[in-house]
Amino acid sequence: MKSTPIPAVQEIIARCRMAGLRRTKALEQLVMTLLEIGRPMTLSELAASNRLTDQCDKATVFRLLQRLVDHAVVRRLGLHERAAYFTLLMPGKHSDYLICTSCGSIEAITAACPVHQLEEEIRVKTGFRQLYHELEFFGVCPKCA
Amino acid sequence: MKSTPIPAVQEIIARCRMAGLRRTKALEQLVMTLLEIGRPMTLSELAASNRLTDQCDKATVFRLLQRLVDHAVVRRLGLHERAAYFTLLMPGKHSDYLICTSCGSIEAITAACPVHQLEEEIRVKTGFRQLYHELEFFGVCPKCA
DNA sequence: GTAATTGCAAATACTTTGCCACGTA
DNA sequence: TACGTGGCAAAGTATTTGCAATTAC
């Protein structure tokens, strides 16, 4: 599941470059971190990660994430915590999440997402553009129960 | 769709009373407001609503919502904005939402939710307790496009 | 060289708590 | 009366912006 991250990093950065972003240290480190950890992360987590600490300011990470969201390289998720979560947007991949309301653990769900048909219906019926969805399951995990 | 709210208000307050809450002005006004508006609202919206303005402090609304969430009368939703949203939890009813990322409008989706089977599978496979889900569709509404 | 990007510091936004007064049961 | 609840003010946490310095192209 966890293939060598380097090619993926290069591919994502290539997408950024085509979107007009510059190849900066912060960009590389941010993408590597998100790929390596493999789950949505908060701004604080990202800025505090050992790759980024002392390498760039939280404001920098914030603005970088903002640009990446604008260019659909990253998606901002709600996930219920007070802080927003960010995850890499991989073309053709979609994740739903299972979240423990007690310990806050976040797990991506691999099962096929049953929502695509409804999403298509909504697209047609409502005329919404750039439609996507977020599906989260909340509950108390076995450890916490 | 919008039946006389009074009976529903009484019913919800009865549930609160059974949970040990006192029947206060703030509780009544809060429940009436949420019922009347009929969509998730933020703490600020609630505290600023004409029913509650000058009637009680934002901190009061905050703590009241907290109690209502604890007693499963209200649910706190993410919905992607910086502020949390709150909605009445009606037994047997479930809503998914369609949200415009441009103007922020929120609309409940009436179509049957296609997620229940997956939810059941997850409950069995993972052993999570008190499982529920949140499904949101995001996009740009026709007005904003 | 030029425009994008960064760091630092300060400003916002929203939430949460302390403490004492008040009202419901 | 007693304990849940309310108001006010202050603190906490997360986000967002201004501006001058720096860096990628």
* Chain A: closest CA distance from residue B108 (Å): 12
Neighboring chain B residues of A136 at a CB cutoff of 8 Å: 78, 133-135
Residue from A28, A40, A29, A32 nearest A4 by CA: A32
Do both A27 and A46 map to the same domain? yes
Which residues in A lie closer than 8 A to residue B139 (C-beta atoms)? 123, 128-132
- Same domain as B30, residue B43: yes
Q: Percent of chain B at pLDDT above 90?
A: 74
Q: How does pLDDT run across A57-73, given as a tens digit for each residue? A: 999 999 999 999 999 99
| CATH at A83 | 1.10.10.10
Residues B102 and B134 in one domain: yes
| Chain-chain contact of B139 with A130 (C-beta, under 8 angstroms) | yes
**What pLDDT is attached to residue B139?**
94
Domain edge (last residue) among A90, A105, A135 = A90
The highest-confidence range among A2-6, A100-104, A127-131, B112-116, by mean pLDDT, is A127-131
**Co-location of B80 and B99 in the same domain:** no
B69 touches strand D (CB under 7 A): no
B130 to A79: CB separation less than 8 angstroms, yes or no: no
Backbone angles phi, psi at A15, to 5 degrees: -60, -40
Average pLDDT taken over every residue of chain B: 90
Boundary (domain end) residue, out of A66, A90, A114: A90
Which pLDDT value is given to residue B5?
A: 53
Q: Say if residue A55's pLDDT is above 80.
A: no
Same domain, A106 and A57: no
Asked if residue B69 and residue B50 are part of one domain, the reply reads yes
Total Cβ atoms within 10 A of residue A67: 15
Q: For residue range B78-90, what is the model confidence (pLDDT) as tens digits?
A: 878 889 999 999 9
B78 touches strand D (CB under 7 A): no
If asked whether residues B83 and B109 sit together in one domain, one would say: no
Instruction: Give the domain extent around B78.
Output: 1-90
Residues B57 and B23 in one domain: yes
Residues B79 and B113 in one domain: no
- Candidates A141, A5, A130; CA nearest to A69 is A130
Does the pLDDT at position B18 exceed 90?
yes
The total domain count for chain B is: 2
Residues A125-140, mean pLDDT to the nearest whole number: 94
Contact yes or no for B27/B16 (Cβ under 8 A): yes
CATH number, residue B139: 3.30.1490.190
Is the minimum distance from the CB of B25 to strand D below 7 Å?
yes
Q: Give, to the nearest 10 degrees, the angle between helix B5-18 and helix B25-37.
A: 130
Cβ atoms within 10 Å of A53's Cβ, excluding its own = 10
Q: CB–CB of B137 and A128 under 8 A? A: yes
Q: Does B129 touch chain A (CB under 8 A)?
A: yes
pLDDT score of A25:
93
pLDDT band at B52 (very low <50, low <70, confident <90, very high): confident
> Which pTM was predicted?
0.90
Q: Work out the average pLDDT over B14-34.
A: 95
Claim to verify: residue A102 and residue A34 sit in the same structural domain: no
Please check the confidence at residue B92 and state whether its pLDDT lies above 90: no
- One domain, residues B1 and B72: yes
Please tell me the least confidently modeled range out of A91-95, A119-123, B29-33, B131-135: A91-95
> A69: distance to nearest CA of chain B, Å?
13
Kindly report which listed range (A64-73, A81-90, B2-11) carries the lowest average pLDDT score. Answer: B2-11
* pLDDT beyond 90 at A46: yes
Boundary-marking domain end, from B68, B90, B112: B90
Q: What is the mean pLDDT of residues A88-109?
A: 91
The pLDDT value recorded for residue A22 is 96
| Domain identity same for A1 and A44 | yes
